[in-house]
Structure 1
Amino acid sequence: MRKTAFQLDPIAAQYQHGQINSGYSGDHNIQATTGIPFPTTIAQRAAFLKESMRLAESEQLSTRALVKESAGSAYLQWAMGAEQVKLLQRLDSSYASLAAFAARKFELGETGRLEKVAAQSSADGVRVQLRQAQGHINPYAAEVERWTGALNGAVPDATALASTASAPDPDGGADPVLAQQQQRALLSEREWRSERGLWAPSLQGGGFYQTLDGASPFTGYLIGASIPFPGTGQGARTKAARLRSGIAQQQLEEVRRARLSELTGTRTRLAQLRESLAYYDGTGASLAATLRGDAERAYGAGDIGYIEFIQGMKQAHRIDTQHLRVRYELALTVLHLRALQGL
């Protein structure tokens, strides 16, 4: 593309026949000319084409970063869905035990029908949630396939969320979106300079062949110049290019401020999510395990009723779900921060 900066104008050819420079009316004259842009015009055009190539390359990098983040986010969503299913499977198992134990107590006359029905109803409700979560897996997998291709029966890596969430904070790199906008602004400036350079004259050159008195042919060359006439469309095109360059600079500043704000906000959110995850990895996970274990043991021993059991299990499941949600959001934030830095 850059090699097209130097190019000759189309050849202009003309043929004359008749009385030319003599009394003979059957002479022939053939002329052919072409034009060469002024050297500064060629240089400006070469610079414009060079920046056009760089803009295409920056757009490729920006698109690659977007695809990488989108594919990673889809995979994390798939992995998160699988983890949700595991949490609900554990809860389903606990509620199934509750329903079976309540039914046994009812058969032995140790409790009334209300406890049996309530326990079975709670177990059925959890089973519905489990089926809904299982139903989300295929759409999540389809979204992954949209970005990566066929999965061929693959399952999500159980460690994907934890490994991404625990990765070091991304640092370094350059924002591909900002780099793309910078290149657009530079290209707009080059376009303006290129249009302004067209005010320089174009050099003209060519040759001719002519017969004289029908017998004596002679040849020669032609040299000239073509200069844009003031008041033509070139002035308007130059002014429009100048305006576009100014607009591109304004857009660049807007994008720079927006991306800096987004980068700062993402880093702040990353720090907050890390603090939350540290709580759930330690205190939260321990509390959920205690609530779950105590509820199962106490209900089995008859120390608490089914209502207290359900309350304890719901609280434990709520903590586990929040733990998973924080880990998922942290992993997404890590991916987004990488994308903001072109990593």
Structure 2
Amino acid sequence: MIIYSAIPLAAVGGVLLLWIRDLPFSISAGVGFIALFGIAVLNGIVLIEHFKELKKEGRFNNINDLIKQGTKDRLRAVLLTAMAAALGFLPMAISTNAGAEVQRPLATVVIGGLITATLLTLIVLPVLYAYFNKPKVKSATSRNGIVTTSLMIFSIAAIGQAQQQPIDLETLIPMALENNASIKAQELQVDHSNELVNSAFSFDKTQLYYEFDQNNLAINNKPLRVLGIQQDFKFPTVYFTQKKVNEANVALVTSARDINKKNIERKVTIAYYQYQIARKKEVALKTLDSLYTNFSSMATRRFELGETNYLEKITAASKQKQINTKYLESRLDVVLSYNELKKLVQSSDTLILVAEKDLKIPLERIDVESSVELDYYRNRISLLDAQRQLEKKQLLPDISLHYFQGTNSELNSSLYGYQVGLKIPLLFGGQSSRIKASGIAQQIASQEYNEYDIQLKARYEALMVRRNQLNNALSYYEQEGTALSDEILNTAQGSFKNGEIDFYQFIQSLEGAYEIKLDYLEQLNQYNNVVIEINYLTL
């Protein structure tokens, strides 16, 4: 039992290094712990067995001297064993190539665990061996000390074991929206447009001037020195119309951002359910592959015993290879769908996903008229209408205000004056063309809106028809097909074992049963894709 104390000692280092490197506890990390515990226990066996050999020789009267000598003798062996394993896993721990996200946790656990396990094995194991090989004196105090020590060791191993909670779709979508760089850019663009709203109230620079003109004489026939200020304004309604243009642009940019968000949500949902269905297919094909492997071996054994012919043997082997190929393809599909999902979420951490029980996506009620794409077209029409109104306002006169004061050395008080003027666009042919062009642009946007509206409603109707077709097909599998498949499989296995059906009948039954399961998953995948297209309706 002393040897197994190396297990919690090793776990401490594995968990600690996982935490330092900010790596999650994954399946590969669990495999690493299994390998780590084997090496740690092996080192403990090497040390404790040598202690026993020295004790049998009877050369040491003192247990402390025996432990010191035994530890010195086995120090090199323990260190070399740990170093060889740790250095062997080092390339995996620092790898950045394909599959590194699986290799790093495994290697990190082994290296971290070996460091602590080696140090603590050389310290704790000799102490425990000396403690349990002392003359036994039963007392409550000693028993309490043993219990306390054991609890402390296992508590240390337990502390820090943090498992990442499985993530579902409701968690993945906000993660994807938060991490996506294009969404961040569009959020900044919305902020940029909001800041420009009040830029509508921008005025020309104020003119300050000093003038001296000998022809400009006062009543005393002395020239005036004039100081003046002048400011030009557009017609007041122009500023408010420009503000409406800026506000309409904010609405358009916001609609573009919402369209991008909807698109990302749709892609994440598709990738998530494709991953879930790929996992289900992998499980089904793994089971089928296991059955075919067993019966291929059985067919080979029957051929060796002369109970069957060569044709049955090679047919079984051929079927097993075909199913194994499909199984390997299903595993690749799982990896590809996982990588696609991780790419969309844009997370550097390993994603541990919930295993969904119900893979059928519910159909949401949607209002086609409230589609964000139609909102985008409506906002575009509003923007063009505001721009057209602004072009019309440019025909209004600009206003000019002018105030000045003049004096000379012989005047007792300053002379003042002011001027109010209008800048009327008498030559407005070019502006008139711009007004007409903006009206045409608005008409174009209106026609594009109508076209998109018609196409979107037609796509919605087509998708609903397709959804109803697939739902009817799924109803068979859900009500009868799945149960029938399980019944066929169980009956076929029992009948074949009892000799009631031959090999070929058994193969046909297996294929029929699992074909129903796989067809159901394929139909479910098509159904989900159609429902996602409806829930996130777009062209």
Tell me the TM-score range normalised by the shorter chain. Answer: 0.7 to 0.9
Scaled by the length of structure 2, the TM-score of the pair is 0.58
Distance 1:182 1:171 in 2: 18
Matches within 5 A, 1:143-292: 143-150=340-347, 152-159=349-356, 162-165=358-361, 167-172=362-367, 174-212=370-408, 218-292=415-489
Q: Alignment partner of 2:217: what SS?
A: coil
What's the offset of the Cα at 1:20?
A: 3.7
Distance 1:268 1:31 in 2: 77
Say if 1:210 and 1:219, in contact at 8 Å, map to a contact too: yes
What's the offset of the Cα at 1:182?
A: 1.1
What's the offset of the Cα at 1:317?
A: 2.3
What's the offset of the Cα at 1:85?
A: 0.6
Say if 1:27 and 1:214, in contact at 8 Å, map to a contact too: no
Say if 2:303 and 2:309, in contact at 8 Å, map to a contact too: yes
- Corresponding position: 1:21 with 2:216: yes
* Distance 1:230-1:203 versus aligned 2 partners, 3 A rule: same
Distance 2:405 2:500 in 1: 117
Q: Alignment partner of 2:202: what SS?
A: coil
Distance 2:217 2:343 in 1: 79
| Range with bigger deviation, 257-266 or 54-63 | 54-63
Deviations 1:266-303 (Å, cap 9, x if unpaired)? 22222222222111112221332233334333333344
Residues matched between the structures, number: 339
Say if 1:99 and 1:116, in contact at 8 Å, map to a contact too: yes
Gap regions ≥5 residues in structure 1: none
Deviations 1:85-123 (Å, cap 9, x if unpaired)? 111111101211220210121121101222112211211
* Distance 1:109-1:248 versus aligned 2 partners, 3 A rule: same
Tell me what 1:5 maps to: 200
What's the offset of the Cα at 1:52?
A: 1.6
Say if 2:275 and 2:337, in contact at 8 Å, map to a contact too: yes
Distance 1:87 1:228 in 2: 79
Q: Alignment partner of 1:136: what SS?
A: helix
Say if 2:407 and 2:414, in contact at 8 Å, map to a contact too: yes
Distance 2:428 2:253 in 1: 35
Q: Which has the larger radius of gyration?
A: 2
* Distance 1:298-1:41 versus aligned 2 partners, 3 A rule: same
What's the offset of the Cα at 1:232?
A: 4.4
| Range with bigger deviation, 139-148 or 238-247 | 139-148
What's the offset of the Cα at 1:28?
A: 4.7
- Coordinate RMSD, CA, aligned: 2.7
Letter in 1 for 2:433: A
Tell me what 1:326 maps to: 523
Deviations 1:40-66 (Å, cap 9, x if unpaired)? 322322222222222222222222211
Tell me what 2:248 maps to: 51
Letter in 1 for 2:537: L
| Range with bigger deviation, 235-244 or 12-21 | 12-21
Scaled by the length of structure 1, the TM-score of the pair is 0.88
| Range with bigger deviation, 98-107 or 285-294 | 285-294
Instruction: Choose the corresponding residue for 1:115, options 281, 294, 312.
Output: 312
Deviations 1:6-32 (Å, cap 9, x if unpaired)? 232233455544424139898654544
Q: Alignment partner of 2:400: what SS?
A: strand
Deviations 1:147-180 (Å, cap 9, x if unpaired)? 22337444433226x2542x25434582111111
Deviations 1:209-256 (Å, cap 9, x if unpaired)? 445589785443331112223344322221211111110000110111
Say if 1:85 and 1:130, in contact at 8 Å, map to a contact too: yes
Gap regions ≥5 residues in structure 2: 1-195
* Distance 1:6-1:206 versus aligned 2 partners, 3 A rule: same
* Distance 1:267-1:59 versus aligned 2 partners, 3 A rule: same
Letter in 1 for 2:332: G
Tell me what 1:84 maps to: 281
Deviations 1:116-157 (Å, cap 9, x if unpaired)? 122112112211221121122222112112222337444433
Instruction: Choose the corresponding residue for 1:75, options 268, 272, 287.
Output: 272
| Range with bigger deviation, 327-336 or 115-124 | 327-336
What's the offset of the Cα at 1:261?
A: 1.1
